[in-house]
Amino acid sequence: MPSTSMRVAALLACAPLALAAPKTTAAKQAAAASSPAPPIRSHPTSISHGPYSGIPLATGALSNSIVGTGIPSLPPNPAATSYPSDGRLHEPQPAPYVPAGGMGTNGTPPVYNAKSDFDYESLALALYQEWIELDLFHDGLARFSEQDFTAAGLTAEDRYLIQFMAEQEAGHATMISNILGAQAPQQCTYNYPYRTVREFIDFSQKLTRFGESGVYGFLPHLDSREAAQLLLQSITTEARQQMILRQFDGLFPVPVWFEVGVPQSWAWTLLAPFISSCPAGQTRLVWQNFPALWILNQPNPARVNASAGYNETISAGMNTLSSANLTTSEACAYSNNTLDDCKPAITQNRTIPLSYPGRRVFLSWETPGKPVGPNNSYVTSSQAGSPKYVAWVTQLNVTYSSLDVTNATSGSTVQPNVETYAGDPAINGTMFIAITDDDPYLTPFNLSLINRHVVAGPALYQAG
C-alpha cells in the first residue's frame, strides 16, 4: 500500500515540478537523489479471461443533450492563410532567439489535465487501450510455453522484450490516469481469440496499430496541449512496439512513409469486442461502435502466398490471422527459401507481396443493433445509408473504391492503385478499410467527418 505522500506524488506527477520542488540547489540535489519515483497505478495482476456471460445491460454510449445532427462542412477560415510563409520574421520577438507565436509559449505554467469533454473522452479511450495492452502482453507470455515461443522463432530475449512492453503499458496507464483523475477508467477483463503464438503476435501487431493510429487521429485536436505532449511521448513508444511486433510476425517492419491516424470511434469499434466486463462504476465512453466487418480473403502473413487464404481469420474487425490449418508447404514459417520465409527477423522481403493493386477483396459485415463491449453494454450503430464504397484509409490518404454489392451484408471491391507521393504506394502495411455510403473528400485533419457515412467497419486490412 503506497503511503499517502506517495499517492499524492502520483497525482501530482504531471503537475509542474518546479512548484513542488525545493528551492535551493543543494536541497534540489538531495531531493533528486532520495525522492522515490511516483508509483504506477494499482491494477489487478491476475485477471480472468473469457467471454462475458452475464445479462447484457444494453445502455449504449455515454450521451448528454444532443443539439445537432451532424458536423457541417464550413468554408475555410480566412485567417488560416494570412501568414506570408516567406522565411522572414513578421512580428517583434518576445525574447532573443524566440519567434512570436505558438501555443502555450507565453510563460503561463502548463497544467496537465483534460480541458474539455473531447479531451476527457479521447484520453479515456486511450486508457482503455493501454489497459488491454498491459493485459495482452502478460497473457501471451502466460498462455504459451517457452517451447511454443521457440517453435515460433522467438527466444527468451524476445519474450523479455514482450514483458518489457507490458511494463511500459503500466506506465502509460498511470500517466493517463493521473491526467484524468479519480474517475479514470479501470482495468477490465478481456476475451482473446488467439490460439497460437503466431496468432498472438499478429493480434498484438494489429491491436497496437489501431492503438497508435487511434491516438494520432485526435492528438492534434485536443484542447489540452499539455496532455497532448505527454500522450505523444507514450504513443511514440507504442509505435516502436507495433514495429517490433511486425518484425516478430515476419513482416517488413515499416513499408509506409507515413503512419495513418483514424477517428476515436474507429479505435473503439476495433477494441470493444475484446473487452468482456469492466468493474462496477466504470466510466463509460461517448464513442460509436460500428457494425463489424470481415475481410474474407484477408492476406495471411503466415502463408507463403498470403493472398491465397480464404476465411482464415479468427475475428471480425481486426481480422487477425488464423494459423490453424496451414500445411507445411503453405506456412512460410517452415520455408527454407529466405525470400518466402516469415520467421521473426529485423526485416523480411517477401517474393509474393501480401496484397497488390487490382486484387479483388471479398467482404461481409453485420447489421447494426448488436450488443458489444464491456458487459455487452454498448450497441453497434450506423447513421449511413446504403453501402456504396470501400474507404481505404492509409498514410495521408483516404481513397474510395466502388463496392460491388452481393446482398445487404456482403460484397467485393478492387484494391486501388494509389501513391501518397511518387514512389510510395499508399496501400501497404497494416491499414484500415470501411464500408461507406458516400465518398467525401477527406484529409488527415478532418477524417472524423467520415463517421456518419460508415455502414460497417473499420477492419484492419493486411496490405503488406
Ligand X SMILES: *[C@@H]1O[C@H](CO)[C@@H](O)[C@H](O)[C@H]1NC(C)=O
Q: Are 374 and 131 in contact (CB under 8 A)?
A: no
DSSP letter string over 150-217? HHTT--HHHHHHHHHHHHHHHHHHHHHHHHH-TTPPPP-EE-----SHHHHHHHHHHHHHHHHHHHHH
Instruction: Give the range of 133-141, 220-228, 378-386, 439-447 binding ligand X by CB under 6 A.
Output: 439-447
Measured from the CB atom, the residue of 214 and 373 that comes closer to ligand X is: 373
CB of 129 closer than 8 Å to CB of 214: yes
Q: Which of 150, 237, 305, 381 is close enough to bind ligand X by CB under 6 A?
A: 305
Is 168 one of the binding residues for ligand X (CB under 6 A)?
A: no
Mark the segment that binds ligand X (CB under 6 A) among 143-151, 227-235, 380-388, 435-443. Answer: 435-443
Question: Is 196 or 204 the residue whose CB approaches ligand X more closely?
Answer: 196
- d(Cα 384, Cα 188) in Å, to the nearest integer? 31
Figure out which of the listed residues 8, 27, 111, 324 binds ligand X, where binding follows CB under 6 A.
324
Interface residue with ligand X among 12, 151, 166, 396 (CB under 6 A) is 396
Q: Which of 307, 381, 383, 412 binds ligand X (CB under 6 A)?
A: 307
No. of helices (H) and no. of strands (E), the chain: 9, 12
Give the C-alpha separation, 52 to 48, whole Å: 11
Q: How far is the CB of 160 from ligand X (least distance, A)?
A: 28
* Per-residue contact flags (x/-) with ligand X for residues 105 to 134, judged by CB under 6 A: ------------------------------
CB of residue 374 vs ligand X: minimum separation in angstroms?
7
Query: Which amino acid would we find at residue 430?
Result: T
Q: Does position 80 bind ligand X by CB under 6 A?
A: no
Burial of 255 by CB count in 10 Å (0-12 exposed, 13-18 middle, 19+ buried)? middle
Please report whether residue 448 would count as binding ligand X according to CB under 6 A.
Answer: no
Cell digits for 126? 486511450
Residue 273 in the binding site for ligand X (CB under 6 A):
no
Largest pairwise CA distance in the chain = 75
Q: What character string, x for contact with ligand X (CB under 6 A) and - otherwise, covers 333-362?
A: -xxx--x---------x--xx-xx------
- Residue 13 near residue 175 (C-beta atoms within 8 A): yes
46, 73, 81, 108: residue in contact with ligand X (rule CB under 6 A): 73
311 binds ligand X (CB under 6 A): yes
* Calpha distance 333→306 (Å, rounded): 12
Q: Residue 32 corresponds to which amino acid?
A: A
Question: Residue 277: which H helix or E strand, with range?
Answer: strand 275-277
Nearer to ligand X, 38 or 353 (CB): 353
CB of 335 to ligand X, least distance (A): 6
State the Cα–Cα distance between residues 398 and 390, nearest whole angstrom.
10
- Residues 235-264 within binding reach of ligand X (CB under 6 A): 252, 255
Residue 289 or 428 with smaller CB distance to ligand X: 428
Pick the closer one to ligand X by CB: 38 or 374. Answer: 374
Q: Least distance to ligand X from the beta carbon of 449, Å?
A: 5
- Joined together, the cell numbers standing for residue 352 give 509474393
- Could you say whether residue 441 binds ligand X (CB under 6 A)? yes
In what helix (H) or strand (E) does residue 7 lie, and over which residues does it extend?
Answer: helix 4-11
Binding status of residue 328 toward ligand X by CB under 6 A = yes
Half-sphere exposure of 16 (CA within 13 A, CB side): 8
Among 156, 325, 346, 422, binds ligand X (CB under 6 A): 325
Residue the block writes with cell 518484425: 247
Residue 373: partners with Cβ closer than 8 Å, 6 or more residues away: 272, 273, 275, 289
Binding footprint of ligand X on the chain (CB under 6 A): 54, 57, 73, 252, 255, 277-280, 282, 296, 305, 307-308, 311, 322, 324-325, 328-329, 334-336, 339, 349, 352-353, 355-356, 364, 375, 396-397, 399, 406-410, 418, 420, 425, 427-428, 440-443, 446, 449, 463-464
